[in-house]
A and B are shown apart, each in its own frame.
Chain A
Amino acid sequence: MNPVATPAAPHAPHTSHLEPGEGQPGTVREHHDHHELGFFRKWIFSVDHKVIGLQFLFSGLVFLALGGMMAMAIRYQLAWPWRPMPGLAWMFPATGGAITPEFYTMLFTMHGTIMIFFVMIPLLTGAFGNFLIPLMIGAPDMAFPKLNMFGYWTMIPAFFFMILGFFVEGGHAAGGWTSYPPLSTIEAAAPGSLSGQTCWLMGLTWVGVSSMMGAVNYVTTIVKMRAPGLTMMRLPLSIWGLMITSLLQLFALPVLTAASIMQLLDRVLNTGFFTPTNLLVNNLTPDSFAYGSEAAAAGGQPLLWQHLFWFYSHPAVYILVLPAMGFTSDILAIHARKPIFGYKPMVYSMSAIAGLGFIVWGHHMFTSGMNPALGMTFMVSTVMIALPSAIKVFNWLGTLWGGRIHLRTPMLFACAFVSMFIIGGLSGIWMAATPVDIYIHDTYIVVAHFHYVVFAGSLFAIFAAIYHWFPKMFGRLMNETVGKIHFVGSFIFTNMTFYMMHQLGVAGLMRRTADPYAYDVYAHLQPINEFITISAFCMFAWQIFFVLNFFHSMFWGKRVGRNPWKAASLEWDAPSPPGHGNFDHQLEVYRGAYEFGSPEVEEDYIPQTRKI
């Protein structure tokens, strides 16, 4: 039942290479020979990568709860449109508690924005990137610890603007998370475009700045600060995933930042990058000399925003999934006690995904009015990006094959990631095929697709990573039983929630409609939507197991030593939790991170630092 009940007693082979006096493995605090920092220096204004990682982790989880609640509100409306919304009814006295359509548009806009920019990216790159990179490459800290601190502190204005937006007149941005102009640039076009959109853009810009600081730091750290002997081809795949993600961010984020500043200028200075002439929106012409208005410039091009936005946001999809792939690879190998199958193909395919990721953005725009010849080229590149993803899936299966699988919670979530990623990846092929996409563009099949990749995929990988590296973060294990209960419920309800959306999409149901049943062609889809909604509620409620397990284990979990999973990579050489400076002994790396079940030694793994 509980294979980690007796974890990581310090065992002889592991300790034998330690110099005397460098501390016993498994002891937690004895390496604290540094001066003690005050509470603020230690937890708030910390330059320690581990603390910053935890800051990202906690703020990410808080926003995850917020975004999840929004999802519940969306689902409620879709199952029972215009019925009093529990918990929000007080905001709408005139309608008797039913939400208004503009509130619904705000809900799904902010659900998408928060989940992508404030949950997934900060959790994957902010939390785990920070926490894992120095530990896994054997470095005492990041290359630029202060920059790292600023990386978190630039998130604070982003949080501020994102929260502020909910309280401005007209509510928060309501142009979809893609914020297509002119809906988003013209204030009269939607209530959320009054001031909410400005808050949204400010928040996004700050997130971008934070991510860029992080990305510079990660790349530098990985390139320059690896332990002696740790060549690039000996890095754990998590690090490869994070490094490629950082490169993606470095190249793509400036474009989004520029675009969001352009949209900001369009809104506050009426520059008109994205606003064409001769519009009449909500009975106002934005480009007119209508009395009192100095706004005259226009002649912009709405497609320009789509190009700029997707030039970032398509790579962002891979930013959302590449680190998750890395974590999964590590976790699968460690818990299957088997070397990763095809290490180099894994690295090359991740790089190929990143490289191709830059030339596929147009597949979001097949029906946008872009030149159809472009659609053809984007289709080929998009279809081909499925190839490296397929290679990765085959390699994961190869890793499992012939292994000695321990079905602990992180392993379960990692297997679920593979299973769900297959669904999300395969349904993407429909979307890549241009003629098919004419029909399924913006239908629920798209919703199903990206929720399978990002929710059931990346978030499950994040759960796996949290369960897996929790001992390193807090020196304690998360409860296995509760973890397994959490897994079973999450897995079942996630599939119940998202799987039938494929069929809804094939039936033609459009996303972003507040009341689809007002179309008689959709009227018969209400029962299936009710089913989905109840599943979603159950899934949301089920996360209580995770929350309780997380906080309970943080304080009262079972204490473990350095290496509870008997993993080979470097972070397990550090104490749990590692102190300031991470390692209490000199590291020398002799091999890759996946030497499990080697016939060379008696145990079933060889740590990277062990010389034979």
Chain B
Amino acid sequence: MRYLFTLLLFLVPALGVWTFVEADRWQLWFPQNVSSFGGEIDRLFNIIMYMVAFTFIVTEVCLAWFVFKYSAKNETKGAFTHGSHKLEMVWTAIPAVALLFIAFIQMRTWADIKFEGNFPKDGEYTREKPIAEVWASQFDWRIRYPGDDGVLGTVDDLERSWEFVVPVDTKIVFNLRTRDVIHSFFVPEFRLKQDALPGHTIPMWFEAKKEGIYDLICAELCGWGHYKMSGRVTVVSKEEFAKRMSEIKAEWFSNGKELGE
């Protein structure tokens, strides 16, 4: 029996590490990253993962090994010790340093992504002049681009449901708002997530480095239709973006007939 239990305990680190190694092959790993800060997030994830994996393997193997070794003979007495001050100091200090290291390397990235002081200031879109306003409501995403006047909330705003079109290689700043309950704007490929909070207008930014079609997912429970609340962020070239905007505008001011509606 002792062999069986040891095997079970030993399988935890063995299979645990194996599944992480194989995960990418099983398509169970990060989706591709296309945002400017996503790589940084992945890197931090991996740093933590390697540190964690080391601890995980050492402790789990020790556990399995101790269980195996010290369950062998039961006739004699075990070692009689109440602990070791020196050891305690060692395994307090080393993890403390490691953990502080983990905490401090996060700060730069966090500040870059979330602090308003670090929002793009000189680009085409800024905090004062966002590209669009993304409205969440049960169970829909609606994107409002400012019309010709460049001001949001006026009657010439162009509104599209579901699809958020943005230009590539541009720092995009947009406002996140909700009409009813809390929602969350999540694009896995951008490594970007932010709750939309009722009563607040929350500015966000990202820069997509690659053209493509990315799923926009609601990541905060918003009612029975939470799973229905999908959207899409389409990243297109700058020329294509201008074209798409003029299409959206044409559709907005069409008389219906020319679109075959």
Contact = CB atoms under 8 A, between A and B. Distances in A.
A and B touch in the complex (CB under 8 A): yes
B91 A390 contact: yes
A182 B70 contact: no
B80 A508 contact: no
A514 interface: yes
Interface string B1-42: 110110011001001100110010011111100000100110
B66 A376 contact: no
B195 A368 contact: yes
Interface in A395-416: 395, 397-398, 400-407, 412, 415-416
Contacts of B226: 101, 105, 512-514
A191 B62 CA distance: 51
A488 interface: yes
Contacts of A101: 224-228
B110 to A, nearest CB: 4
B106 interface: yes
Interface residues of A, number: 120
Interface stretch (A275-283, A320-328, A462-470, A569-577): A275-283
A277 B220 CA distance: 21
Given A441-B193, A503-B28, A514-B226, A597 B110 contact: no
B154 interface: no
B27 A280 contact: no
B230 interface: yes
Interface in B31-77: 31, 37, 40-41, 44-45, 48-49, 51-52, 55-56, 59-60, 62-63, 66-67, 70-71, 73-74, 76-77
A519 B192 contact: no
Interface string A238-276: 000000000000000000000000000000000000011
B115 interface: yes
Nearest to A440: B45
Contact of B19 (A499, A512, A524): A499
A430 B42 CA distance: 11
Interface string B193-226: 1111111101000000000000101111111111
A379 B106 contact: yes
Nearest to A597: B77
B28 A506 contact: yes
B56 A442 contact: no
Interface string B98-142: 011011001101110111000000000000000000000110000
Interface stretch (B161-169, B182-190, B236-244, B248-256): B182-190
A367 B193 contact: yes
A376 B80 contact: no
Interface in B136-166: 137-138
A134 B16 CA distance: 41
Contacts of A88: none
Contacts of A604: 77-78
B191 interface: yes
B221 A180 contact: yes
Main secondary structure of the interface of A (DSSP, over half): helix
Interface stretch (A67-75, A155-163, A419-427): A419-427
Contacts of B67: 400, 405, 407, 415
B100 A383 contact: yes
B261 interface: no
A321 to B, nearest CB: 17
A524 B29 CA distance: 12
Contacts of A376: 107, 110-111
Contacts of B48: 429-430, 433, 436
Interface stretch (A14-22, A38-46, A334-342): A334-342
A341 B179 contact: no
A429 B52 contact: yes
Interface in A331-355: 336-345
B99 A386 contact: yes
A500 interface: yes
Interface in A170-201: 174-176, 180, 182-183, 186, 189-191
Interface string A486-522: 0010011001000110111011101011111011110
B193 A439 contact: yes
Given A276-B198, A369-B202, A400-B66, A100 B224 contact: yes
Nearest to B87: A398
Nearest to B55: A426
B55 A380 contact: no
B79 A401 contact: yes
Interface of B: 1-2, 4-5, 8-9, 12, 15-16, 19-20, 23, 26-31, 37, 40-41, 44-45, 48-49, 51-52, 55-56, 59-60, 62-63, 66-67, 70-71, 73-74, 76-84, 87-88, 91-92, 95-96, 99-100, 102-103, 106-107, 109-111, 113-115, 137-138, 179-182, 184, 186, 188, 191-200, 202, 215, 217-228, 230
Interface of A: 1, 3, 100-102, 104-105, 174-176, 180, 182-183, 186, 189-191, 275-282, 301-303, 336-345, 367-369, 372-373, 375-376, 379-380, 383-384, 386-387, 390-391, 393-395, 397-398, 400-407, 412, 415-416, 418-419, 422-423, 426-427, 429-430, 432-436, 438-443, 484, 488, 491-492, 495, 499-500, 502-504, 506-508, 510, 512-516, 518-521, 524-525, 528, 594, 596-599, 604
Given A180-B182, A384-B99, A433-B106, 8 more contacts: A105-B223, A180-B221, A278-B199, A337-B77, A367-B184, A403-B79, A435-B113, A441-B193
List 8 A-B pairs, minimum CB-CB distance, nearest first.
A276-B199, A402-B79, A342-B83, A102-B224, A372-B114, A508-B188, A503-B28, A405-B71
